[in-house]
Amino acid sequence: MLYAIVNHTLLPAEEATLRVQDLSIQRGYGVFDFFKTIQGKPVFLEDHLDRFYQSASLLQLPVSYSRQALKQLIFQLMERNQLPDSGIRITLTGGYAADGFTIATPNLIITQQPVSIDRQLQATGIHLATYPHQRQLPAAKSIDYLMAIWLQGFVQQQEAQDVLYHQDGRVTECPRSNFFIVTQDPKVVTPSHRILQGVIRKQVLQLAEEQYVVEEREVTLDDIYKAREAFVTSTTKNILPVVRFDGQVIGTGQPGQVTKDLSDRLEQLISNHIA
Amino acid sequence: MLYAIVNHTLLPAEEATLRVQDLSIQRGYGVFDFFKTIQGKPVFLEDHLDRFYQSASLLQLPVSYSRQALKQLIFQLMERNQLPDSGIRITLTGGYAADGFTIATPNLIITQQPVSIDRQLQATGIHLATYPHQRQLPAAKSIDYLMAIWLQGFVQQQEAQDVLYHQDGRVTECPRSNFFIVTQDPKVVTPSHRILQGVIRKQVLQLAEEQYVVEEREVTLDDIYKAREAFVTSTTKNILPVVRFDGQVIGTGQPGQVTKDLSDRLEQLISNHIA
């Protein structure tokens, strides 16, 4: 049986509840972050905690837990669950608002589930469908996934595995991952604005800079169709090649060499990180 | 002590909880509706139920409750709480998603609180601050109030009581109410597109058509500054005059005659409705 933490309390995950007055249930208001553990070691935990506090600040949610206190709760949960390869989610909600509208004392939830990278998709690459949308308050990892959940039917209809948001032809990100292209030059290029600053995105940019020209800039749908390779990055996916957009093949239709190179080096970096 | 309903269970409101796996907490995914009772009589209940089912359908949430079953739960709650003048909220969430992302069996929550119209604000009118924003899936009454909650500080800074959303100068609605202007002619004008179809909005349009020229059309910020009167409509406010936008006075700076006329007739209509 898995355990979870609600505020300071460790309890069976099935008993982890919030009262329905919480602003997450009433108004969809909260933030979270999500990191993985491999062989019982948290991966890029400091980056995720940095972003967690930043998201909370952007949403004006006071965090009463010091970084050290938060880590202690996380390690307490890991100790209890004994789940070596996992995803750990830290959620902070708007709290129990008496008027159903005003931010109150936030509720903290920490949950853990088994997570593993999908190696099959890494080998074949995925298809993305594009959709015009801009995430609200994009620099914060809020719980607002209204469009992402709503678009799941669309993604299936398009025989895609995920959706890539764009606005007026300028692409930003997927609901749960950052997006990169490799140009014909080749340069490694990724959108710079109105996105979530992904933890894996940051690592991939650093790796890419060692061997390629890297640009953080506006990326258009047209850029994608001219690209040699494309991929997405996220905590649960690491690097996942993208081989088709809206039914149109990109590059050779196979995962590209630069993508594979970066993917191998990212896996190595993560292995070193947890060693 | 007030009671609430979670799925089929009537229980003390303080014990009304959802497990943290619910998609409302995980992904801000759910819909709701909210109606008032006066002297123990639901006001425009059928309209609210129509919209509740429509919102659920728009968000692809299956409702396992027939209209009759839903009403029985509502009346059961009213019977228990004995709260004559109240607001009743019916919320339907995305349910307990095993993967934290896919719509599951929705959870139904029904809560009731004391509610009364603020007569002071009706007498003085309110100030609105404008802000560029478009609600996501605006035809659905989703729980997505991320921007509305986030903007509360902005509203206070602007010494306003609420925010009016616009995009590229075309106004739509306030987070929890519909918006009208009265032109110099006078015509009663309200935005037509990318808004929530308010229950009070519909009643006010019908009342207005009896005595004025009515237009549902694009309304710009410029239209507002030229307007003679302005007001908002909602279940908790009925008609509330707006006398200032972004610090600029509209009309005389006092609640206008057409607004007062419509407000009086709306109150009469509601009195008749519950009689």
Q: What is the pLDDT of residues B235-252, one digit of tens each?
A: 999 999 999 999 999 989
Contact B28 A26 (CB under 8 A): no
* Cβ neighbourhood burial of A156 (10 Å; 0-12, 13-18, 19+): exposed
Residue A271 pLDDT more than 90? yes
User: How close does chain B come to A150, measured CA to CA in Å?
Assistant: 6
Q: What residue ranges define each of the domains in chain A, with the CATH number in brackets?
A: 3-114 (3.30.470.10), 119-274 (3.20.10.10)
Asked if B20 and A23 come within 8 Å (Cβ–Cβ), the reply is no
User: pLDDT tens digit string along A219-267?
Assistant: 999 999 999 999 999 999 999 999 999 999 998 999 999 999 999 999 9
* Residue B116 pLDDT > 90: no
CB contact under 8 A, A137 and B146: yes
User: Looking at the predicted structure, is the pLDDT value of residue A116 above 90?
Assistant: no
Q: What pLDDT is stored for residue B238 in this prediction?
A: 97
Of the candidates A20, A22, A28, the beta carbon closest to that of B144 is on A28
pLDDT, mean of residues A41-46: 98
Cβ-Cβ contacts under 8 Å between A and B: the total is: 136
Mean pLDDT of A77-89: 97
Which distant-in-sequence residues (6+ apart) come within 8 Å of B178 by Cβ? B190, B191, B195, B196, B198, B200, B201, B232, B233, B234
> Residues A151-161: what's their mean pLDDT?
97
| Predicted pLDDT of residue B46 | 98
Question: Which of A24, A154, A235 to probe the B interface (max B CBs under 10 A)?
Answer: A24
* Confidence band for B119, pLDDT divided at 50, 70 and 90: confident
Q: What is the pLDDT of residues A106-115, one digit of tens each?
A: 999 999 999 8
Chain B contact probe: residue of A5, A20, A145 with most B CBs at under 10 A: A20
Of B6, B136, B149, the CB nearest to A147: B136
Res A3: pLDDT: 98
The alpha carbon of residue B199 is apart from the nearest alpha carbon of chain A, in Å, by 20
Q: Taking 90 as the threshold, does the pLDDT of residue A118 lie above it?
A: no
Q: Which two tokens stand for residue A74?
A: 């996380």
- pLDDT at position A117 is 79
Q: Is the Cβ pair A27, B89 closer than 8 Å?
A: no
Residue B118 pLDDT exceeds 90: no
Which residue in chain A has the smallest CA separation from B114? A99
> Is pLDDT at B174 greater than 90 in this prediction?
yes
* Interchain pair A144, B146: CB under 8 A: yes
pLDDT value, residue B259: 98
When pLDDT is averaged across residues A59-71 and rounded to a whole number, the result is 98
Residue B117 is predicted with a pLDDT of 79
pLDDT in tens, B47-101: 999 999 999 999 999 999 999 999 999 999 999 999 999 999 999 999 999 999 9
Average pLDDT over residues B112-124: 89
Q: Is the pLDDT of residue B158 over 90?
A: yes
Handedness of CA B241, B246, B252, B258 (dihedral sign): negative
Joined together, the tokens standing for residue B7 give 């799925």
Mean pLDDT of B110-122: 90
How far does the CA of residue B17 sit from the closest CA of chain A (Å)?
A: 4
